[in-house]
Chains A and B, each alone.
Chain A
Amino acid sequence: MNTALNPKPYLSVAVPVYNEEDSVCLLYEKIRVVCESLNKDYEIIFVDDGSSDRTLEILAEIQKNDAHVKAVSFRKNYGQTAAMAAGFDCAQGENVVSMDGDLQNDPSDIPMLLKKMEEGYDVVCGWRKNRQDKFWSRRFPSIIANWIIGRVTGVRIHDNGCSLKAYRASIIKNVFLYGEMHRFIPAMTTLTGARVSEIVVKHHARQFGKSKYGISRVWRVILDIITVKMIIGFASKPLRWFGFFSLPFIIATFFAFFSAVDLLQRDHTEVWLVTATVGLLCLFLSTHLISLGIIGELSMKTGDFRPSKGLHPNIKILQQTDHKED
């Protein structure tokens, strides 16, 4: 690495690439031009997600000629979330911009994102308002998904799926990205109290290669939304969450038992037994849920998630000052 570089550059651009041998050179050139125009220290991190084509060779070539470039290559294909996580882990800049490796995002939007961050936001998301994709198979599901994600997580932005986003490094480095959580990064950052905003960015139709995502993932996304909701809302208090979850069943238990007793007194022998059994099942379920909540608390206690970790840099710590003059 070039020793002339500041140990902490102003900007890191993290780009996951997977089998992009046609576009990676052009992409690099575009990013480089934009970064140079900023007149600040920068680094470009390419994460090669186990490409089977010549992507890595081309990256090595680029890296040899430009000390700003860093290339990380995976042993095999681990998916976009992992590639982004690796990019964030390697980034050394104060601000991190993530973007797609397929030229659908335009690097010329980066200065705009950074400008928005200077207004005091910690996460600025791109919004592909004029998205160049097929309506029914890509845009329509995305509109619905974003609406649901906004409603459920409370982070109402139009386009969670856009990879072009800018983050303050201290925020993104403390977001634990796993599974397929890259869709929920904005929501996950609110765990550390980040302020999230969005701006409209350009979006180009695919020039090279094929899209690497399918549409058959609705159910998985729904389950992920439930997970994210649980984590951001209740991760630090699982017992409360499971207790809340079991509430309807506790109520149902009481109802069933009371009506069973009532039916028994009125001598409906066949019916009361069924009602009582339903009551027992509900009782069983509520105890089950509460026990799970207790285990959740245990796991919380022994785990390494601390909501205070990576606290918002803008948080003001009010210190007691000496009041000498009364």
Chain B
Amino acid sequence: MSKTQDAPKESPSPRDPYDFSVIVPICERHDDLSELYNQYTKILSKRGKHFEFIFVLDGPNPEIREALKSLMKTSLGIKVIELNRAFGEATALSVGFEQARGAAFITLASYFQVEPEQLHKLLDIFEAGEHDLVISRRFPRIDSVFNQLQSRAFHLIMRVLTGAKYHDVSCGLRIMGPKVTKEVHLYGDLHRFLPLLAYQKGFRVFEVPVRQSVQDKKTRVHKPGIYLRRLLDILTLFFLFKFTRKPLRFFGLVGSALFGTGTLGLSYLVIYRLMGIGAIAGRPLLLLSVLLMVVGIQFFSIGLLGEIIIFTHASKTKDYQIKAVLE
């Protein structure tokens, strides 16, 4: 990873503590970044906050790099990080968190997703101190029906599989404390699921409805591969949540269902044969039943292996997160 960090000469000392680090991962889609910077800067300055901006370029992009360089000439407290190749938004974010020096973190989408003034709402709630992670929800939605439908479907599947009742996890505007970024490990496409992962770790998450930006109206149709990937992401999370510590619960259940079906089929055939109704060797059901039983045992044994792996490798990770110890 190469760092393009041109600190302006009159910059404050590097140890200067910031109230907030604003992290902007720049992936595929982006609007005018200096406009974005100015809008959010205005809000944070108005509240008298001391902050830094960290732009993380996910993969080389000379055009944006130059634009940001010229922005750095005129403004203070900007850091630009460029990754050697595209690692995905989650990695970009976690690199940003590592480089950040603020007491808390604000993440932004690299385009106008919501009205910038809405940041006040999130800041108010975060500063009340009741929540570790404040996320936003674009509500009411003003973009196309298609966008809304695909978002609804995604969140519905997520709710069914993981029980998480968030409405807009793809909204990039979030505020969180340093504990969250330290303990939640983000990789791949998991940035979307930050609220779920944080909740799983026992952090208090709060969702705020914010006004959607007019510039976010465009209809987005993704490639079919993207939809499949989202679905697989949810499945990954589903396993992580429910069965990490008890793989046999999952594999055992599937395995015994398959094995049971196979046994039923086979016993039907055996009774059929014993009663002398006819020959069974030529019947496809025979092979099917045996195959089902074999696959069932396979599933079950993989679950057992999973248990061995958990038992031998997971004893250092705790099942719980402690909030406070009074002694």
Contact = CB atoms under 8 A, between A and B. Distances in A.
Interface in B111-136: none
Contact of A288 (B298, B312, B319): B298
A55 B311 CA distance: 33
A75 B325 contact: no
Interface string B197-225: 00101110000000000000000000000
Residue in B311, B313, B323 with the greatest tally of chain A CB atoms within 10 Å: B311
Contact of B305 (A59, A85, A281, A296): A296
Contacts of A176: 311, 315
Contact of A284 (B248, B281, B294, B327): B294
A63 B326 CA distance: 7
B248 A178 contact: no
A298 B301 CA distance: 16
A137 interface: no
Interface in A47-69: 50, 59-60, 63
B287 interface: yes
Contact of B322 (A1, A75, A238): A75
Interface string B283-295: 0001100110010
B2 interface: no
A303 interface: yes
B231 interface: no
Interface residues of A, number: 60
B246 A180 contact: yes
Nearest to A306: B312
Interface string A295-311: 11001101111000000
B309 interface: yes
Contacts of B311: 176, 231, 235, 303, 305
Contacts of B253: 219, 223
B297 A292 contact: no
A140 interface: no
B33 to A, nearest CB: 36
A50 B202 contact: yes
A271 interface: yes
A76 interface: yes
Given A63-B326, A274-B281, A223 B320 contact: no
Interface in A204-258: 219-220, 223-224, 226-227, 230-231, 235, 238, 242, 245
A292 to B, nearest CB: 5
Interface in A271-287: 271, 274-275, 277-278, 281-282, 284-285
B323 A74 contact: yes
Given A74-B202, A74-B322, A284-B294, A303 B327 contact: no
A289 B202 CA distance: 38
Given A72-B326, A73-B322, A177-B319, 4 more contacts: A270-B281, A288-B301, A296-B308, A303-B311
Interface of A: 1, 50, 59-60, 63, 70-76, 78-79, 81-83, 85-86, 89-90, 176-180, 219-220, 223-224, 226-227, 230-231, 235, 238, 242, 245, 268, 270-271, 274-275, 277-278, 281-282, 284-285, 288-289, 292, 295-296, 299-300, 302-305
14 contacts: A63-B326, A72-B322, A75-B202, A78-B202, A82-B319, A85-B320, A220-B249, A223-B252, A227-B246, A231-B308, A235-B308, A242-B301, A270-B281, A281-B290
